[in-house]
Amino acid sequence: MKKTVTAMITVLLAILLCGCAALFGTGTENTKIDLGASEIYTSSELQNAADHILAEFRSWESVEEVYTLTYCGDEKAADNLEYCNQLNEKEYDQCVVFESAFLTSGSAESEGFEANSRYDGWEWYLARANGGELEILTCGYA
């Protein structure tokens, strides 16, 4: 009987902890993603880049919810390739720029954000070389 009660309590605690993680993690399930139209990138490539950004958001404890994620277009991507090449020691031949809007959590100040605030126009710069995977180089306000 004692072992059964202990096992039940252990299972309940595990469920509770999983539920708390779901409740307090960064919300990206309802993020509106706008991939726009591109003559350079396929929708699959842009979706992969968006997924990469959302995964990065989910790793931030300071963000409560991501509202939007929007591809800024081929022209902005082309205009920022030189900038991307200055950020890293790699030579990139393609880049993409996304813009996001999100809400920070009450503990955001510990990561350099204002707590419980909405951030609009937060940009993400990703680049690649020789058709490789797009990697996040930097993000923030330009």
CB 68 within 8 A of CB 31: yes
**What per-residue confidence (pLDDT) applies to 38?**
98
CB 88 within 8 A of CB 139: no
Q: Can you give the residue ranges of every domain in the chain? A: 27-140
**What per-residue confidence (pLDDT) applies to 75?**
98
Element (H, E) at 83: helix 81-87
Q: Count CB atoms within 10 A of the CB of residue 75.
A: 9
**What per-residue confidence (pLDDT) applies to 129?**
96
**What per-residue confidence (pLDDT) applies to 57?**
96
**What per-residue confidence (pLDDT) applies to 26?**
77
- Cα dist from 91 to 11, 32, 94, whole Å: 51, 32, 9
From first to last of the 142 residues of the chain, give the pLDDT tens digit: 555 544 444 434 334 333 333 445 678 899 999 999 999 999 999 999 999 999 999 999 999 999 999 999 999 999 999 999 999 888 999 999 999 999 999 988 878 899 999 999 999 999 999 999 999 999 999 7
